[in-house]
């Protein structure tokens, strides 16, 4: 019979934790090994006893028992060329966007209590994608959480084709059979449109995100359809990447062509923050002369001047759910793929 892994030599053991928690050794073993059929209150008691005793599992022994690495690959994937300059630029864009920090926070919040650990990987080239697939194939990680920045990203299909457990943040391209979490982006954009129209804005414009990204496409479609239902002509559109600079450039162009605009919907908070800066530079007051609504409810929303009214995307909760779906896939690989769609909410601040 296989022996449950104990603590490091001379340190606290499972028996010590069991005594401190007032439960059986088997119950402690199930909690430590991340087995989910334990009452949440008992799990919490055991984790408190682990912290109090200073118990540290022997990870090598535990891996022999579970046959798992207890490592999860968090992969940021996109389209790029093979040049070192482009690869460095890709990483810089990722770390500059508050969205990715929120994803990491949500993933860690879910994995840490379960003694699972993320490894961050970039897969912006064909070679990097093959390396990521190989990393999982050789057992270095138990599964992959994929955050894709490109609509035609081949990585989800590569993972599922190799029979590897993986979950995607956002709707997958085509008919790739992969579990995913996403937001009802179309509905969120309608919330933004309805709010601007309720304020009395009628000369609306929108700064759209890249239209080769599903979220960018859905946010633009939702906004257009909402204003059309209110009898407002199709609003002028400027497309930009999801950056502060992109928002400032797009806003400047829209002001040049439509100087009487009175309401702006930007497809994310960085775009909206850039738009507010451009409006100030052109002597336009927000929200007195121009109301601005963003999307995401990120740190950019609260640091903006003025603070942004925005559509909340609960990224941390979505990332944690993505990790939960992956754990289920790892433990039960015969389960059908699943999707979880989160509901957006409007957060009203000073910009609109």
Residues 197-207: tens digit of each pLDDT: 999 999 999 99
Strands, E, within the chain: which ranges? 71-77, 117-123, 143-148, 166-169, 179-183, 204-208, 237-239, 263-266, 291-296, 309-312, 339-342, 345-347
Rounded to whole angstroms, the Cα distance separating 62 from 64 reads 5
Rounded to whole angstroms, the Cα distance separating 216 from 239 reads 9
Q: What percent of the chain has pLDDT over 70?
A: 88
Six token digits for residue 350:
């000073």
Query: 74 has which bridge partners?
Result: 120, 145
Rounded to whole angstroms, the Cα distance separating 274 from 68 reads 45
Six token digits for residue 164:
């590897």
Rounded to whole angstroms, the Cα distance separating 50 from 44 reads 10
**CA separation (Å) from 21 to 27, 33, 39, 278?**
10, 16, 14, 59
Number of C-beta neighbours around residue 253 at 10 A: 16
* pLDDT tops 70 at residue 10: no
* Strand-by-strand arrangement of the 166-169 sheet: 117-123, 71-77, 143-148, 166-169, 179-183, 339-342
Residue-wise pLDDT tens digits, 216-274: 999 999 999 999 999 888 899 999 999 999 999 999 999 999 999 999 999 999 999 99
* Strand-by-strand arrangement of the 345-347 sheet: 237-239, 204-208, 263-266, 291-296, 309-312, 345-347
Rounded to whole angstroms, the Cα distance separating 337 from 157 reads 13
Six token digits for residue 347:
């957060």
pLDDT tier, 102 (very low <50, low <70, confident <90, very high otherwise):
very high
**In sequence order, what are the residues at sequence separation of 6 or more whose Cβ sits closer than 8 angstroms to the Cβ of residue 142?**
68, 69, 70, 71, 72, 116, 136, 165, 330
Rounded to whole angstroms, the Cα distance separating 147 from 166 reads 11
What's the pLDDT score for residue 69?
62
**Tokens 């053991």 label which residue?**
13
Rounded to whole angstroms, the Cα distance separating 108 from 169 reads 15
Number of C-beta neighbours around residue 26 at 10 A: 11
**In sequence order, what are the residues at sequence separation of 6 or more whose Cβ sits closer than 8 angstroms to the Cβ of residue 56?**
7, 8, 11, 12
Rounded to whole angstroms, the Cα distance separating 114 from 123 reads 26
With 0-12 / 13-18 / 19 or more C-beta atoms within 10 angstroms meaning exposed / middle / buried, residue 266 is buried
Q: Which of 54-68, 224-238, 323-337 has the lowest mean pLDDT?
A: 54-68
What's the pLDDT score for residue 151?
73
Rounded to whole angstroms, the Cα distance separating 149 from 28 reads 41
What's the pLDDT score for residue 341?
97
SS (H, E, C) 275-297: HHHHHHHCCCCCCCCCEEEEEEC
Using only the alpha carbons of the chain, give its radius of gyration: 24
Residue-wise pLDDT tens digits, 105-150: 999 999 988 888 899 998 888 888 999 999 998 888 899 999 987 7
In degrees and rounded to multiples of 5, residue 74 shows phi and psi of: -100, 105
């Amino acid at each position: 019979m296989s022996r449950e892994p104990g603590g490091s030599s001379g340190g606290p053991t499972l028996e010590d934790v069991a005594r401190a928690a007032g439960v059986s050794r088997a119950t402690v073993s199930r909690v430590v090994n991340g087995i989910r059929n334990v009452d949440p209150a008992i799990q919490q008691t055991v984790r408190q006893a682990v912290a109090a005793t200073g118990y540290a599992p022997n990870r090598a022994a535990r891996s022999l028992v579970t046959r798992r690495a207890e490592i999860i690959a968090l992969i940021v994937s996109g389209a790029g060329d093979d040049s070192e300059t482009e690869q460095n630029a890709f990483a810089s864009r990722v770390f500059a966007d508050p969205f990715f920090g929120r994803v990491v926070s949500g993933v860690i919040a879910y994995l840490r209590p379960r003694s699972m650990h993320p490894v961050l990987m970039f897969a912006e080239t064909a070679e990097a994608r093959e390396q990521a697939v190989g990393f999982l194939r050789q057992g270095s990680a138990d599964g992959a959480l994929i955050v894709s920045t490109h609509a035609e990203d081949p990585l989800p299909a590569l993972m599922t084709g190799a029979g590897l457990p993986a979950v995607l943040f956002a709707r997958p391209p085509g008919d790739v059979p992969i579990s995913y979490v996403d937001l009802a982006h179309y509905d969120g954009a309608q919330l933004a449109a309805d709010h601007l129209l309720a304020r009395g804005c009628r000369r609306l414009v929108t700064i759209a995100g890249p239209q080769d990204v599903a979220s960018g496409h859905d946010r633009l479609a939702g906004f257009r359809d909402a204003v059309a239902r209110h009898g407002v002509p199709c609003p002028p559109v400027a497309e930009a990447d999801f950056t502060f600079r992109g928002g400032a450039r797009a806003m400047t162009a829209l002001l040049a062509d439509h100087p009487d605009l009175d309401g702006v919907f930007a497809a994310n908070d960085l775009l909206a923050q850039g738009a507010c800066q451009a409006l100030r530079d052109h002597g336009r007051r927000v929200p007195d002369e121009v109301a601005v609504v963003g999307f995401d409810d990120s740190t950019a929303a609260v640091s903006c001047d003025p603070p942004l009214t925005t559509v909340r995307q609960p990224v941390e909760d979505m990332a944690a759910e993505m990790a939960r779906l992956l754990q289920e896939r790892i433990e039960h690989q015969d389960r059908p793929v699943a999707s979880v769609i989160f509901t957006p909410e409007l957060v009203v601040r000073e910009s609109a």
